[in-house]
Structure 1
């Protein structure tokens, strides 16, 4: 009996095992057939394609398309700055005359009002002299101008507005001295370019003046190379580079802190090699109280002269600085032979009399004036046009 029971149990277990295996195996097989393993297509690098576009039709059907690989994009090339053609220097001061007249109204109108007074007594003449001194004409020049006017008014005995303007114009033009040579020497000599050094303290607009001067020279049909010898101010070379690119003038520069004399030397060497007409060298802004820096400026000039003579040393002065500007001028004149003055910021001041004073003190002519922030607001100085603008004469 016991054997019978054991046999039945073994039979049941065997049936269960065989039946379970039979039921499980077909299910696994079906699942395998319904979901076969599909390997993704591989690219040469062993990665799936980059882009697959999938879309479904409205009836539920699915479509798939492999997108064409995008063409490689070429790296963006830097855009070369457009070369500008500056206007010629001729007539610039005439074109900027209205701006100059506006800035000098207090000076010119004050003088004309006083001279047109019904009674020109001692008090009025003292006021006229005070207006002249306030405009930075200088004490000596102011005194001489007043004496000349007093004599002419007494002799002629007339004070109509037209006569007053004419008398004042004659005196101012005479003291500015129209006979001085105000030409900026930009013509090459032989196989050597003309060399212009631009000097001045920081903040007077020296680097900007160098860039504007390049525009004047190129506008007159000449060629130029710029030397960024202000290696102590990080932004100076970049600023000059921008000015040069706008007019197509090469700029010679070195790393910050390099020897300024070596930059100037290389600029002149490049000018000779390229056969350009003019090399303009922007020097560092020298504090005129620091002897060592001023001595270095003299070194730059001496090094340049090993390659070519220096034709111009233009001292840039801020027209608003007055007596301080004159002190700067005197110290610079002791270090290098100043050949001309560039007065900047003349559009924002009624102190145009500094033209008279600086020429009297140094015996050096004002050759260029800056009358605004525009790239072509640097103009050759003309005494008669300047005085006419002050007095608003047509």
Structure 2
């Protein structure tokens, strides 16, 4: 009996389990319910087309204001214009600051150390030889060789040695101080202290003085012209520069840069243009401005080019239509030595050289070129270059030069 009851219970349990499984499966397969109904979409009617002709609507009249009802601005009241966009401000480049050149008075004395470093071979070499106890023929030959090596030149060397031999024989005993004084006096005589070394920057006529700068390419001619402008400005002169070197593209730019640094205007022409025309215009502008000096930088030309040298003479003749040229400065490179004398001789045949500017004198031991070139041309050295600085061009002073040669 108990077994039957147990079997019935089991059967009921099994039937119940199967019924639950079937019901769960049916629930899973039930379709999702439909979404709740929403409001019907509103259909927007297209805008009505404008009617024309008989179908056109009569426009409705709007109320209008009389002139009394309109507020007018009171007399004297300014009406602000509509705001405009601010114009773009273009900043112009600032003008270069004008420099104040170093005074020329005593400039060579301040640069003396540069000169003495390069010229010790000449001055101290001579003092050492003259200080020997016995001055035999071999010693005098060494003295002569020292002078020739320094490019003093053959004739000036022979004159100096002859005078030294005579004075040493008369002097007898030779103390270092006596020898130094003797050598200083003889070298000063050789350099020529009585020559007129002033730059003629005042024209006898009522117009600017005209200075031409000539020379071979590579001697530092354009740079020397720019430095000379600084020398003149430092001495209180107003300057107009003429860039007549039209064959070298950078020459006019370089000269203009030098001029802007001291407030001097540069007259220039087209690249490859007529140099004589530029020089003529420069003098014309100088007269119009009332300048003190017109400084003309000419093209550097090889002394072997006959046609170019003739053109240099043409530049001078064209400039002289305004008036005489007061100075023609020949720029020579001191390191070229005796070759500089050949250049100087040819330039002197084309234009009348009135003065010499020796550049790079601090870079050579051949300071005797000062004596040689003066003897060759019969004109004085007026300026010497002793470095690359803007104020390293100095008026030549014979006493300071000789003191630098022989040292303290």
TM-score bracket for this pair, using the shorter chain length: 0.7 to 0.9
CA spacing shift, 1:268–1:24, aligned 2, 3 Å: farther
Give the aligned partner of residue 255 of structure 1. 270
Q: Give, in angstroms, the shift of residue 190 of structure 1.
A: 3.2
Give me the whole-angstrom Cα distance separating, in 2, the residues matched to 1:358 and 1:279. 26
Give the aligned partner of residue 284 of structure 1. 299
Q: Tell me, yes or no, if the aligned pair for 1:191 and 1:275 is still in contact at 8 Å.
A: no
CA spacing shift, 1:348–1:24, aligned 2, 3 Å: farther
> Does 1:99 pair with 2:114?
yes
> Which of 142-151 and 335-344 deviates more?
142-151
Partner residue of 1:208 out of 223, 231, 245: 223
Give the aligned partner of residue 79 of structure 1. 94
Partner residue of 1:166 out of 181, 186, 206: 181
Give me the whole-angstrom Cα distance separating, in 2, the residues matched to 1:71 and 1:193. 48
Deviations 1:249-302 (A, max 9, x none): 110001110100000000000111111111000000011000000000000000
Q: How many equivalent residue pairs?
A: 335
Give the aligned partner of residue 354 of structure 1. 369
Give the aligned partner of residue 185 of structure 1. 200
Partner residue of 1:329 out of 335, 341, 344: 344
Q: Tell me, yes or no, if the aligned pair for 2:203 and 2:326 is still in contact at 8 Å.
A: no
Give me the whole-angstrom Cα distance separating, in 1, the residues matched to 2:147 and 2:318. 42
Residue aligned with 1:196, SS: strand
CA spacing shift, 1:326–1:72, aligned 2, 3 Å: same
Deviations 1:183-221 (A, max 9, x none): 110113332111000000001010011111111111011
> Does 1:295 pair with 2:310?
yes
* Higher Rg of the two aligned structures: 2
CA spacing shift, 1:320–1:23, aligned 2, 3 Å: same
Q: Tell me, yes or no, if the aligned pair for 1:268 and 1:308 is still in contact at 8 Å.
A: no
CA spacing shift, 1:178–1:25, aligned 2, 3 Å: farther
CA spacing shift, 1:70–1:24, aligned 2, 3 Å: farther
Give the aligned partner of residue 245 of structure 2. 230
Q: Give, in angstroms, the shift of residue 108 of structure 1.
A: 1.3
> Does 1:142 pair with 2:153?
no
Give the aligned partner of residue 19 of structure 2. none
Deviations 1:33-70 (A, max 9, x none): xxxxxxxxxxxxxxxxxxxxxxxxxxxxxxxxxxxx99
Q: Tell me, yes or no, if the aligned pair for 2:247 and 2:271 is still in contact at 8 Å.
A: yes
**How big is the alpha-carbon RMSD for the aligned residues of Structure 1 and Structure 2?**
2.0
Structure 1 gaps of 5+ residues are: 1-18, 30-68
After TM superposition, the structure 1 = structure 2 runs for residues 37-76 of structure 1, keeping only pairs within 5 Å, are 73-76=88-91
The two structures have a TM-score, normalised by structure 2, of 0.79
Q: Tell me, yes or no, if the aligned pair for 1:207 and 1:239 is still in contact at 8 Å.
A: yes
Give me the whole-angstrom Cα distance separating, in 2, the residues matched to 1:81 and 1:263. 25
Q: Give, in angstroms, the shift of residue 99 of structure 1.
A: 1.2
Give me the whole-angstrom Cα distance separating, in 2, the residues matched to 1:101 and 1:130. 20
Give the aligned partner of residue 57 of structure 1. none
> Does 1:116 pair with 2:131?
yes
